[in-house]
């Protein structure tokens, strides 16, 4: 990830297996953009296989377009990634690019001046996301350790007004 240019693969639950164009075509079109930028880092914002997050969906959908960029991808887990076997196919497919298996939250340095903290919005999968949870305790340590941070999280539960979000 030598280049600071980062392409984000989320165009409303980007799904290479979507039955209706243009959604299914977007994965291929955006993959061509990434291919043209061989030093660009790639990150995802959840729902990486879309629908149920099965191993076969990752292999037949994500792998066909975005799979060629796994060596420079950092993944964020989403609710659709956890609909099969407690997120196991997500962790198996992305490996180290998804952070420690079973957690879904991790951090990494980007270039010389950014620290990226990836959070897991699927609280039931990681012991909650509230005060005192393992993820919140971990975040307190990491959030104050760096000057410049970027924190991707899939499908936040609450809006800035404090009301519950209705998306899935």
Q: Please state the domain count of the chain.
A: 1
Per-residue pLDDT tens digits for 140-164: 888 777 666 677 777 654 434 444 4
The stretches of the chain forming alpha helices (DSSP H) are: 23-35, 55-57, 63-65, 88-94, 134-143
Residue 145 is assigned to a structural domain of this protein: yes
Closest CA to 2 of 30, 42, 36: 42
Residue 33 is assigned to a structural domain of this protein: yes
The predicted pLDDT at position 155 comes to 63
Per-residue pLDDT tens digits for 66-116: 899 999 999 998 888 888 888 999 999 999 999 998 898 999 888 777 888
| Alpha-carbon separation of residue 102 from 9, 129, 162 (angstroms) | 23, 14, 28
Give the residue numbers spanning the domain of 119: 3-150
What is the domain-level CATH number for residue 74? 3.60.21.10
Residue 21 is assigned to a structural domain of this protein: yes
Percent of the chain clearing pLDDT 70 (strictly above): 73
The predicted pLDDT at position 42 comes to 87
């Amino acid at each position: 990830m030598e280049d600071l240019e980062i392409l984000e693969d989320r165009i409303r639950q980007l799904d290479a297996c979507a039955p209706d164009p243009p959604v299914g075509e977007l994965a291929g079109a955006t993959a061509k953009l990434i291919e043209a930028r061989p030093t660009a880092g790639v990150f995802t914002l959840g729902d990486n296989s879309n629908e149920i997050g099965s191993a076969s969906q990752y292999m037949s959908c994500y792998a066909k377009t975005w799979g060629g960029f796994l060596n420079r991808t950092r993944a964020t887990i989403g609710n659709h990634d956890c609909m099969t076997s407690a997120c196991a196919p997500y962790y198996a497919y992305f490996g180290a690019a998804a952070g420690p298996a079973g957690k879904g939250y991790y951090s990494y340095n980007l270039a010389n001046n950014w620290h990226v903290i990836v959070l897991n919005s699927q609280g039931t999968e990681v012991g909650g996301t509230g005060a005192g949870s393992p993820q919140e305790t971990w975040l307190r340590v990491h959030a104050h350790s760096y000057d410049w941070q970027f924190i991707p999280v899939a499908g936040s539960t609450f809006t800035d007004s404090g009301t519950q979000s209705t998306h899935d």
